[in-house]
Amino acid sequence: MAATTSAPPTGYGLRKRIREWITYLAMSALAIFFLFPIVFMLVSSVKNSETQVLADMSNLYAFVPRGDLGLQNYRDVFGQLEFGRLVVNSTFIMVLTVLVGLLVNSLIAYALARLRFKGRDFLLGIVVALIIVPFEAVAVPLLLLVNRLPWFGGASTWLDSYQVQIIPFIADAFSIFLFYQFFINIPKDLEEAALVDGASLFRIYWNIILPLSRPIFATVAILQALAAWNRFMWPLMVTRGIAARPLTVGMQSFFGQDPRLWGDLMAFASMITIPVLIIFLLFQKWFVQSVASTGIKG
Amino acid sequence: MMDAAIPKTVPKRSRLTSGRTSEAFMAWIFSAPAIILLIVFLVIPFIMAIGLAFTDQRLIPNPNLPTQFVGLRNFVRMFADEAFRRGLLNNFYFVIVVVPVQTALALFLAILINQKLRGMNFYRTIYFAPVVTSMVVVAIVWTFLYNQDGLINSFLSAISFGALGPYDWLRNTKLVFPAIMVLSIWQGAGFQMVIYLAGLQEIPTDLYEAADVDGANKIQQFFYVTWPQLRNTTIFVVLATTILAFKLFDQVKVMTNGGPQNASMTTMLYVIEQGWGQLKVGYASAVSVVFFLIVLVVSLLQRRFLREERQVE
């Protein structure tokens, strides 16, 4: 690096370089703080011997893959409980919630942003007001409601089902608001041209609005997918067995079993985390943009 | 129907006006799925919560003991219950500690990675990684770290030359809640950092250039340019974190379930314990209403502050 600077470091240049070094030092120290639990989890998960995991837990060897390494803990997790089932459940619930949610929320947002109809301002006001109502405030009465809700095929309760973890989370006032804000800023010219050509409103939504709105669809999809994948309280309340249980609740119940095998637990935790981390690394810019866009709320 | 009654001689209505009616019709068709879902799964349960709060409704009603209107009994009982008061106090305790610490840390991180230096994306990725990690996972990994023979105790012991610890973090009534705060900050700071980063990037660079010309140093620039320009972002971050603090549930449920002796109880944990654990839906609804009122006050404050700011501009 020094080779590229032809002039000898002046007082200003030297001070600048020292400041850079201090910055990097501070940032690296913080990086260690934010990374160590994740590294600790990953390293512990590949130590085959539980004795080794426990021996290393109190010193820097916790971060060193050493001893008998392998995927034994991962095999244990797959073998002991229906881990595959939990993965399928979590994935299915997440994918369906996000896909149907994108359609439902963007459609109403399109109507609010673009179509003229009586009661539009009132409806928009209600949606904005509903952003304030947290799911947590309605969880208990909703439990009472879904406990006695019928479903196709004669079921008289929604407990232990997929739909109880999907349908209540499809419509989301905040997602609607994000779509709405994006749609009102799209120029109208293209739609007007299409209208003159006699295109139906749904066609305009599908062929013009959708392709122009990929960023906001990505944003909402990421926020909703993260929320669905990590959702814990509600599935804890509505799943009594393994049938429709997601990974988070499965992990908590595995954690509650005696004896606690930390190697297995870390393997379980890693398997929930690694897919999300990979997707995050691939689509980093989108993740960051999604979160940044929540800041414009209000 | 109307169209049929109009004599054929009248020219057909222009596309614009006939489009207007079908436009309104289509608008309601497009809106219907979301409206129905919001009503059934948000509005109705919300109204139920308010109604049930004044009853002794149970999840599985006893046929011999019909649900009754009990007036304000649930509210009186709630505030007489040590566990509920502990939970509410803990939420405020969490707000007072976590909100300033996490906000300051997030701002500091955002300022660091907003510099035009190499490798900033790399650091941003690392600081943000905990945000995408499930809270249940975070709670379990940190339980391991907080083990009496675990990494955190040996770290403290090492930096204090053996003077500190070992502590039984999660079984000590004084330490359990601060321990939970630390991992909550660890998990949440990256989120706020990104929001601050967006705020920082919106500050016009000529403000800094002008400050440079006036001879302001970096610290003065922070206090006279950056901080005032981030006012809206800070209001948002502070109040959003406050609301999250009142929703505190996942990590506490997994790590301690509110113990020991309710030392880590929270309002939401109490709601779920009463409503789902003990099936007291009426009583838990009353607690939910109190919870909602707190969130409402914070949200209204947020909207009010942000609106005032917009009017000033």
Q: From B140, which residue of chain A is nearest by alpha-carbon distance?
A: A255
**Residue pair A43/A66 in contact by the 8 Å Cβ criterion:** no
**In which band, very low, low, confident or very high, does the pLDDT at A113 lie, cut at 50, 70 and 90?**
very high
Confidence grade of residue B21 (pLDDT, cut at 50, 70, 90): low
Q: Does residue A184 have a pLDDT over 80?
A: yes
pLDDT in tens, A224-233: 999 999 999 9
pLDDT given at position B63: 79
Query: How much of chain A, in percent, has pLDDT values that exceed 70?
Result: 95
The per-residue pLDDT for range B219-267, each reduced to its tens digit, is 888 999 999 999 889 998 999 899 999 999 999 999 999 989 999 999 9
Residue B50 contacts A, CB cutoff 8 Å: no
pLDDT > 70? residue A298: no
Contact at CB, B38 and A120, closer than 8 angstroms: no
pLDDT digits (tens, 9 = 90+) for B120-138: 889 999 999 999 999 999 9
DSSP A69: B
Mean local confidence (pLDDT), A244-251: 94
Q: Give buried/exposed letters for B183-204 (b at 16+ CB in 10 A, else e).
A: bbbbbbbbbbbbbbbbbbeebe
With contacts defined as CB-CB under 8 Å, which chain A residues touch B17?
Answer: none
The complex scores an ipTM of 0.89
Cα–Cα nearest to A293, from B222, B188, B198, B234: B198
CB A240 within 8 A of CB A159: yes
**Residue B19 pLDDT:** 58
* A29 membership: H or E segment, kind and range: helix A11-45
Mean pLDDT score across all residues of chain A: 89
Residue B26: CB partners within 8 Å, gap ≥ 6? A111, A115, A201, A202
| Residue A215, preceding peptide bond in cis (omega within 30° of 0) | no
Does the pLDDT at position B286 exceed 90?
yes
Q: Spell out which residues of chain B touch residue A298, defining contact as CB-CB under 8 Å.
A: 236, 302-303, 306
Tell me the per-residue pLDDT of B89-112, one tens digit each, with 9 for 90 and over: 999 999 999 999 999 999 999 999
pLDDT digits (tens, 9 = 90+) for B135-185: 999 999 999 999 988 899 989 988 888 888 788 999 999 999 999 999 999
Task: Give residue-wise pLDDT tens across range A138-174.
Answer: 999 999 999 988 888 888 889 999 999 999 999 999 9
Residue B55 has phi, psi (to 5 degrees) of: -130, 175
- Nearest CA to B270 out of B51, B143, B91 is that of B91
- In a mutagenesis test of the A interface, which of B16, B26, B31, B149 is the best target, namely the one with the most A β-carbons within 10 Å? B31
Of A98, A102, A94, A97, nearest to A213 by C-alpha is A102
Work out the end-to-end distance of chain A between its first and last CA atoms, rounded to an integer number of angstroms. Answer: 47
Interface test with A, best of B38, B154, B278 (most A CBs within 10 A): B38
Contact present, A242 and A82 (Cβ < 8 Å): yes
